[in-house]
């Protein structure tokens, strides 16, 4: 999974990126300190892996990972070359979802690029720059497809779709809210890699005092939550400064630190949950002496396609999947004991994999 982090300058974007990835991107109280995209890869915390790894005495435990791409702070007019321009947006065209950091805290020591704190205005500024960037992409595509459609009548439908989509964007609406007329149009929409077609997760960045009640008393957070609900987006409340402190601690110290603050989970854990939800993802597990590992798949994936995540040969030669829920496996202490209790199923090609399934694939190539 790959997530692109965007936001105006000085909203806490690079501070958040640093704390999430411990990658040390330069963070400073001035715009554009993140000029090249910074990339960090983070392990997805998963207690199930540790427990299974201990049970099997696995030589290696491999969690699922998320790749974060931190993009330079956008400003109003970026699409027209203001600030750094929007050339760097190409770096997030390949991401699965966009994490939009929104400033919901007051601090006279940290300048706001627009002079005041207004989360909805900030969201609109970023949204419009992403829309302008998408319009540019569409205009190039329209010129190319329009020319080809004169020779190939089968392209006429796509040419018409592109014009409708461009008109939709020009009304200031994101591609996400565009109504495709059929499956062919949906497939084409996805293929354009438009930034405003990607799911959005808002990170409402608050001061430490607002973190305990999850920003309930913060008007800016309330506005962001309502906007997210109205637009089918996810939102989570975070204090980038606190996350920065957590990044310096080990696992045990982090748990104690969060407990002292009255928090049940870190910002990273909130973000991971939000990204799995919005992208419709889950994990199945494989476990053994050599390796215990988590594999990320779409909810609703069938056993052969899940096997294909491990190796294409597994999908091609799929015979059966030996499946047990991780809780049952841990309770019984071994796969053999779980089999004896009838807790292990032999599943075929139509089996829909469930979150937390521990699977042993049978295949023949």
pLDDT of residue 243: 87
Cα 182 from Cα 171, distance rounded (Å): 22
Work out the mean pLDDT of the chain and round it to a whole number. 87
pLDDT of residue 280: 95
pLDDT digits (tens, 9 = 90+) for 80-97: 555 444 555 666 788 899
Residues 6+ apart with CB under 8 A from 191: none
Q: Is 22 helix (H, G, I), strand (E, B) or coil?
A: coil
pLDDT of residue 29: 47
Cα 30 from Cα 348, distance rounded (Å): 57
pLDDT digits (tens, 9 = 90+) for 257-295: 989 988 888 888 899 999 999 999 999 999 999 999 999
Lowest mean pLDDT among 190-199, 227-236, 261-270, 330-339: 261-270
The DSSP string of 315-365 is: HHTEEEEEEEEHHHHHHHSSHHHHHHTT--EEE-TTPBP-TTEEEEEEE--
pLDDT digits (tens, 9 = 90+) for 110-162: 656 666 779 999 999 889 988 988 998 899 999 988 888 777 777 888 899 99
Q: What percent of the chain has pLDDT over 90?
A: 55
Across residues 169-198, what is the average pLDDT? 93
Residue 33 has pLDDT above 70, yes or no: no
pLDDT digits (tens, 9 = 90+) for 329-356: 999 999 999 999 999 999 999 999 999 9
pLDDT of residue 89: 67
Q: What percent of the chain has pLDDT over 70?
A: 88
- Contact 240/25 with Cβ under 8 angstroms? no
Cα 172 from Cα 132, distance rounded (Å): 9
Residue 238 has pLDDT above 60, yes or no: yes
Residue 309 has pLDDT above 80, yes or no: yes
Beta partners for residue 111, in sequence order: none
Across residues 24-33, what is the average pLDDT? 46
């Amino acid at each position: 999974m790959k997530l692109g982090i965007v936001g105006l300058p000085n909203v806490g974007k690079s501070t958040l990126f640093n704390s999430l990835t411990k990658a040390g991107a330069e963070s400073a109280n001035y715009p554009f300190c993140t000029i090249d995209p910074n990339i960090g890869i983070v392990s997805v915390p998963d207690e199930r892996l540790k427990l299974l790894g201990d049970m099997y005495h696995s030589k290696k435990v491999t969690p699922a990972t998320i790749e974060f791409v931190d993009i330079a702070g956008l400003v109003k007019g970026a699409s027209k070359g203001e600030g750094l321009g929007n050339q760097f947006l190409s770096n997030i065209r390949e991401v699965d979802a966009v994490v939009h950091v929104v400033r919901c805290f007051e601090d006279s020591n940290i300048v706001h690029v627009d002079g005041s704190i207004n989360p909805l205005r900030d969201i609109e500024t970023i949204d419009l720059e992403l829309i302008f960037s998408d319009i540019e992409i569409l205009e190039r595509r329209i010129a190319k497809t329009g020319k080809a459609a004169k020779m190939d009548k089968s392209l006429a439908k796509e040419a018409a779709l592109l014009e409708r989509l461009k008109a939709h964007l020009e009304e200031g609406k994101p591609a996400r809210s565009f109504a495709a007329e059929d499956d062919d149009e949906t497939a084409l929409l996805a293929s354009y890699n438009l930034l405003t077609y990607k799911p959005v997760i808002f990170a409402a960045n608050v001061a430490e005092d607002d973190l305990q009640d999850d920003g309930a008393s913060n008007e800016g957070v309330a506005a962001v939550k309502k906007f997210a609900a109205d637009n089918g987006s996810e939102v989570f409340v975070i204090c980038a400064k606190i996350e920065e402190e957590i990044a310096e601690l080990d696992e045990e110290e982090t748990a104690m630190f969060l407990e002292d603050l009255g928090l049940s989970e870190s910002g990273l854990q909130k973000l991971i949950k939000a990204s799995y939800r919005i992208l419709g993802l889950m994990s199945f597990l494989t476990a053994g002496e050599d390796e215990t590992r988590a594999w990320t798949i779409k909810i609703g994936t069938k056993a052969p396609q899940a096997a294909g995540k491990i190796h294409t040969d597994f999908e091609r030669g799929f015979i059966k999947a030996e499946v047990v829920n991780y809780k049952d496996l841990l309770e019984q202490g071994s796969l053999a004991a779980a089999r004896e209790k009838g807790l292990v199923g032999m599943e075929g090609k139509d089996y829909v994999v469930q979150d937390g399934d521990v699977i042993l694939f049978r295949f023949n190539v």
